[in-house]
Amino acid sequence: MKDIIRVALIQPKPYPSFDDPRNLGHALQLMEKCRGEKLDLICFPEYFPYQGEKELANAARHHGTHIIAGLVEAEGERLYNTATLFNRSGQILGRQRKRNIGAMERNHLGISPGDGVFRAFVTDFGKVGMPVCVDFWGQPEAGRQLSSQGVDCVINISIFPLLRGHWKTGALVRAFDHFIPVVGVNTADYNALIEGRRVHQYGGHSFVIQPPKLLDKEDFRRWLKSLDTLESWVTTELDELEHVSVIDVNLAVTRRFRNDFFGTFGFQKHS
């Protein structure tokens, strides 16, 4: 396990159609901007690049990093919107299927809901949860399940054409509830093509939320006594444009102080 991990937030400007094969090529090009960064994790948003397991597996091996991508998984006649995790060797460590499916996904993309079981996936740097979009910020169940499994961080891949501010607010609430870092990844601002109709996607504002760096128990107590807002937990927030941004995420603070945090507020948790 690692105390601090280097994470690349890739906020791409997609081609208009969700399943446009050019999105895969664009994803691979954007990853080249990460060359030499010695990353632990590269994160793409929901439905991006939509397809390309073999190519992403090769990229994970090439860059020596984990990758979380928004892929559509086919099982029998059903399609699932997933966050798919590749390890540094290019193997698929796991998929998290989205449970709360919106009308556009059902009616236009033919997506089926997942089972609502949220899993912590074990990597060489710690345990990662990756609930998709509204599954995390919209309802508390994903956070509860992942917290009970001792997850070290949450990656929330999303597409946010609206409610971007509420996305961050909801994620901040979950981060506080479970004293955990949250990485939210969105597309950039772009025009989507849905059944021949152009729909503007108000994208951007990917973020990293994490508890502050705390050195020891006394430092933790001083910080807790002064706690008034959570604004300082938002350590990164991008604008609406396409970006590749490398951020350090501290896992040690969560591991070291989460039980003290839960005990102070009377939260009943398991780790």
Q: What is the pLDDT along the chain (271 residues), one digit of tens a residue?
A: 899 999 999 999 999 999 999 999 999 999 999 999 999 999 999 999 999 999 999 999 999 999 999 999 999 999 999 999 999 999 999 999 999 998 889 988 999 999 999 999 999 999 999 999 999 999 999 999 999 999 999 999 999 776 777 899 999 999 999 999 999 999 999 998 877 888 888 899 999 999 999 999 999 999 999 889 999 999 999 999 999 999 999 999 999 999 999 998 888 665 4
Residue identified by tokens 């938002």 is: 234
Q: 185 lies in a domain?
A: yes
Does a structural domain hold residue 12?
yes
Quick one: pLDDT at residue 271? Answer: 46
DSSP letter for 88, please.
T
- Residue 76 belongs to a domain: yes
Residue 99, domain member (yes or no): yes
Other beta carbons less than 10 A from residue 195's beta carbon: 8
Is 54 within a domain?
yes
**Phi, psi of 79, rounded to the nearest 5 degrees:** -115, 140
Please, is 254 exposed, middle or buried when counting C-beta atoms within 10 Å of its C-beta (0-12, 13-18, 19+)? Answer: buried
Whether 269 maps to a domain, the answer reads: no
* Size (the chain), residues: 271
Quick check: is 194 in a domain? yes
User: Do the Cβ atoms of 43 and 56 come closer than 8 Å?
Assistant: no
Torsion sign (Cα): 59, 252, 116, 170? negative
Residue 172's domain is classified under what CATH number? 3.60.110.10
Residue 270: inside a domain, yes or no? no
ω into 49 cis (within 30 of 0): yes
Distance from the first to the final alpha carbon of the chain: 16
Q: Which two tokens stand for residue 104?
A: 């556009």
Model pLDDT, residue 270: 52
How far is residue 207's CA from residue 223's CA, in Å, rounded to a whole number?
23
